[in-house]
Structure 1
Amino acid sequence: MSGQVNWFELPADDTERARAFYAGVFGWDTSPMGEDYHVITTGAAGAIAVRDVQLTQPRIYFHTADIDASARKVAELGGKADDVQTVPEVGRIAHCTDDQGTPFSLYEPQA
């Protein structure tokens, strides 16, 4: 359903330490996907990733059935939407900010 949170990313300077922390707090297990990106396999739908200039705070992804229309609507309402990116075997994403500068992302699952 559009607008529901369906993924999140937690940034960490040390992903091994972060994985141990969240395993201790929530019992999460993770599985590596790519370079130093760890998908949570026994808990909420999300991942632990390396902190960088694009990922400085937790990032929330909202589901959309039509990412192109949603990205246009973000811009129409005074926000900013980056170019839509295709993630092979996953779907399409766009990183955005709302009209007050709060970051969020859009996610359209692969059909």
Structure 2
Amino acid sequence: MAPTHGTPVGLEIPVKDTARGAAFYSAVFGWQFKPSHLGIPEDKILIFTVPDGVFPAGGALRQVEDADIATVKGTSKVYFYVDDLAAAIEKIVSNGGKKISDPIPEGSTGFFQFFEDSEGNGHGLYKYN
């Protein structure tokens, strides 16, 4: 069963070093990490789950360069579940937001799409197949 439209379902955290970031979040919060099911190298991205299923789609530590940390590209992103990516992007744009990407497949699981809100904060949309 898919989450309700608008539910936060995932979190992406930028890190300079995925192993160091994973060690930190494991020690502090008890998060469990694993390689990406998409075959992305572990030094580029690690997938995690959090207690109590707060983010049903899980999350990712994404390796970024030093210069990206202080930019929108380097900020944490919340992923919101939507029933329809195109309709959600249309609402975002018509309310002062910006479409950042076209839909991006996540294997056979679903699709991501990135946007900026009216204040320039970068987030993601997620739709299960």
String of CA shifts for 1:35-69, please: whole Å, max 9, x gaps: 22111145352111112547301111000011111
Cα 1:11–1:42 shift into 2, 3 Å: same
Code of the aligned partner of 1:75: V
- Distance verdict in 2 for CA 1:23–1:99, change over 3 Å: same
Amino acid paired to 2:86: D
SS at match of 2:5: coil
Pick from 30, 39, 43: which aligns with 2:47? 39
> Are 2:110 and 1:91 equivalent residues in the alignment?
yes
Is the 8 Å Cα contact of residues 11 and 56 (structure 1) preserved in structure 2? yes
Mapped to 1, the partners of 2:109 and 2:76 lie a distance apart of: 20
TM norm structure 2: 0.77
Of Structure 1 and Structure 2, the greater helix share is in 2
Q: CA RMSD in A?
A: 1.6
1:90 Cα deviation from its structure 2 partner: 2.2
**Which string of whole-angstrom CA distances, capped at 9 and with x for unpartnered residues, describes residues 50-92 of structure 1?**
1254730111100001111101111111111122222222211
Q: Distance in 2 between matches of 1:7 and 1:62?
A: 7
Work out whether residues 30 and 42 of structure 1, in 8 Å CA contact, stay in contact via their aligned partners in 2. Answer: no
Overall identity of the aligned pairs, in %? 28
8 Å Cα contact 2:73/2:122 also seen in 1:
no
* Corresponding residue number in structure 2 for 1:50: 63
SS of 1:55's equivalent in the other structure is helix
- Runs of 4+ deviating beyond 4 Å: none
**Structure 1: tracts of 5 or more residues without a match:** none
What is the count of residue pairs matched by the alignment? 110
* In 2: Cα distance, 1:29 partner to 1:103 partner: 25
